[in-house]
A and B are shown apart, each in its own frame.
Chain A
Amino acid sequence: MADQTTNSVAFVADGNIPESPPPANETGVVKWLRDNLFSGVTNSILTILALVLIYLLLKNTLPWILNGVWNANSLAECREILAGRTGACFAVLTERWPQLIYGFKYPVDAYWRPNVAFVLMLIALAPVLFFDLPRKLLIITAVYPFVAFWLIWGGTILVPVVALLGCVAGGFVFQKAGKNSFAAGFFGAIVAALVVWQAGGWLIPEGASENAWLTAVPSRDLGGYMLNMMLGLTCVSLSLPLGIALALGRQSRMPLIKWISVVFIEFVRGVPLITLLFVASVMLAYFFPPESTVDLFLRVVIMITMFSSAYIAEVIRGGLAALPRGQYEAADSLGLDYPQAMRLIILPQAMKISIPGIVNVAVGLFKDTTLVSVISMFDLVGMIRGPILASTEWNGVYWELWGFAALVFFVVCYGISQYSQWLERRLATDHH
């Protein structure tokens, strides 16, 4: 052993070897490429296939988009300008822009009204979507439906004012009577609102809409992307309370109420939306009083609201079921009655769990508003298929129009789903 230490050790390190940078193929872009794109034979083949696919896509679409013609009056003119090169004819979008957005019958001099309603919508939605904004802004949200109704449909301002007054009266009665008993407040509010609306109906003079400041626009003149947005927004906001009621009804211990909710939900979820729209267009009129005429827009809103409320009810039921039993028992032991327990303890938590599901339903519903084109309403899809593609100028401009329709839906739906993910992170109060 001894001579080993004296003879065989030729070199003893007396310090650390200086750090050297990692080899070139273990850093930076090269390493990333190796790890993520070419880590094996299969991976390399997949990467090359993907690259070829992307190249083919770009090769075919890029010149088409970049060569696009934005100013022309017909497809023939477009082709003349392009002179044989590949290129899109986006001129159809600029030329038919009002039709795509407002439909083809909405009065031209009234286009500013939906525009204002749209801007107001953004303001009204802001406090609902972002909790950090001052709560006072919710007043705008509460008034918005009436303002938007007046702006889009026009006519006398008395109608939305009376409708608003009815709601205010209902809210007031609920505040007063609802302190002791939720049921008394609830039914009292409904009665008060009905009384105000009935009285308002007598007060508004016949033909008040004819010389109104904003000319009245009948529902059948609405169209374009505006119609999709209106249907989507109205039906989602109406179906939320209905969905909550159905979800609670389905959980109820009262057999009759439970039974009604279950039959309604399962029936609506079992049939496609198109059949419900058929009901709206050909069948629902039979169920209204003989002398009344309920216009198609309202009938469609009723049916789509029923449709989405059943889906929202199922989502909320999932949220209710996910709550631990202890929450219900804790609410009971505090001496809260059913409405109080629901409003203060159960629903706030259940709704938080249900938000992603509700947003999914809302996105699906917004996409489904395109189905109204099947019952000959002229929404964005209906406008493209009908008046625009059938016109002599633009017959054959498929890709530009459908690409545009796809784009506007994608932007809104993708935006909503990104918002929901943000909200989920924001509301996450549990620890990870």
Chain B
Amino acid sequence: MSTLTDPPNAGFRLSMLFNDTRYRSLTFQVIAAIVLALCIWYLGNNLIQNLRAAGLNISYSFLGDPAGYDINQRLIDYNSQSSHARAALVGVLNTLLVAFLACITATVFGVVAGVLRLSNNWLVSKLMAVYVEIFRNIPILIWIIIIFTIMTAVMPGPRAFRGDDATSSMVLDLFAFTNRGVYIPMPWFESGLFASTAMNWVLVLAGFLLSWFVSGRVTTWANHKQEETGERPKTLLLKLAIWFVPFAILMLIMGLTWEVPALKGFNFKGGIKIGGPLIALWFALSIYTGAFIAENVRAGIQAISKGQTEAAAALGLRQGRIMNLVVLPQALRVIIPPLISQYLNITKNSSLAIAVGYADITATLGGITLNQTGRAIECVLLLMLFYLTASLTISTVMNIYNSSVKLKER
């Protein structure tokens, strides 16, 4: 029996590699490194042999070849003579488009359903509970297909809009819901300040940003004034003017007109066409993820102790102000982290576009391009790279936002 003050044995024995805490972690790591290297070598070796046997190599030159297929729903110019890389870019933009749209609508659905689920109204809260349970417990793929079926099998064809005995009519004479997609009016400028449409829209966006900035300054000024004098100046009209007057003037100068879709021949022409697959994917992602967000919102609001609400009420705040000034800012801290992962889920689930033929990156690069060129490894790797980048970017951006609303601790 040795005491703790005994010096360690001077000699080195092999068993010390496993039993001595000074060496043990190193031993395990060396073993892990060897096993990892062996695995990589084994898989890599198999890959090389298989590729040699199939007469293939790893090369990304196919990206420059003409793609040879058409894409209906696209945000940038593309035709069948464009390269595979261009097709992939169209897919990337389509993925980002549907993910962006779905994130916004899912948040709206989720917040509304989450707040309504806590409503005092028994019927409404039960209805919302049913909504949440139904949509959470049925696979998103089934929802996408069901909504796509509604879009294609239930909506009337363009033919039904024609003639005197038309069975369908356009909503408000502006929107047409057909089985080929939804047509909505398209705004455009008669006398734009720039030649290209995109630049004109950038100008409008810049105008909005300016309004946003100025209205932010007004709020700061009002806060300042309130702290100095105790009276809050009325800023509502001023803010409305800041938001709308420059916008209206800009629209007037550039001559905003709406191009309304109209039935020409066998199909609708003009306006913006939103294809059935996009709508199916967008709507399904929104209501499905909305159900999850509703639960997060509910949990966030319930996490705020009743004492907070009561204290605010004791201060004499109105119901709406209690929600806006006391409950929501605190609930937001609880809601945002799960909301981040819901946004990531939307982005990843948008890859199910391939099931309804929406040309996102999975359908173009991972679908048609892969099948045409047979470049499975390259395509799948690029696909994964894209999603990894997108996921990491979203989580970084949202984490920055999260740390800005987080409770500032010492």
Contact = CB atoms under 8 A, between A and B. Distances in A.
B101 interface: no
Interface string A37-51: 101000100110011
Contact of A410 (B18, B134, B145, B380): B134
B133 A286 contact: no
A363 interface: yes
Interface of A is mostly: helix
B405 interface: no
Given A255-B29, A374-B354, A270 B149 contact: no
Contacts, number: 151
B370 A368 contact: no
A57 to B, nearest CB: 10
A287 B41 CA distance: 11
A204 interface: no
B85 to A, nearest CB: 19
B266 interface: no
Nearest to B371: A282
Given A270-B392, A278-B380, A374 B355 contact: yes
A419 B384 CA distance: 35
A-side interface size class: 35 or more
A195 B383 CA distance: 40
B390 to A, nearest CB: 8
Contacts of A255: 29
B175 interface: no
Interface stretch (B122-130, B245-253, B327-335): B122-130
A290 B380 contact: no
Contact of B370 (A257, A282, A371): A282
Interface of B is mostly: helix
Interface in B352-408: 352, 354-355, 362, 366, 370, 376-377, 380, 383-384, 387-388, 391-392
A288 B116 CA distance: 53
Interface in B129-184: 133-134, 136-142, 145-146, 149, 153
Interface stretch (A86-94, A122-130, A206-214, A401-409): A401-409
A367 B138 contact: yes
A300 to B, nearest CB: 15
Interface stretch (B49-57, B64-72, B230-238): B49-57
Given A270-B392, A287-B46, A363 B121 contact: no
23 contacts: A37-B122, A46-B123, A46-B124, A47-B124, A50-B121, A183-B18, A269-B391, A275-B383, A275-B384, A278-B376, A282-B380, A283-B380, A286-B47, A288-B46, A368-B139, A370-B142, A381-B141, A381-B142, A385-B145, A396-B153, A398-B153, A406-B138, A409-B139
Given A271-B384, A286-B376, A398-B146, 16 more contacts: A36-B121, A46-B121, A46-B124, A51-B123, A254-B28, A256-B29, A257-B28, A260-B32, A274-B351, A275-B351, A275-B387, A286-B46, A288-B46, A290-B53, A374-B355, A413-B138
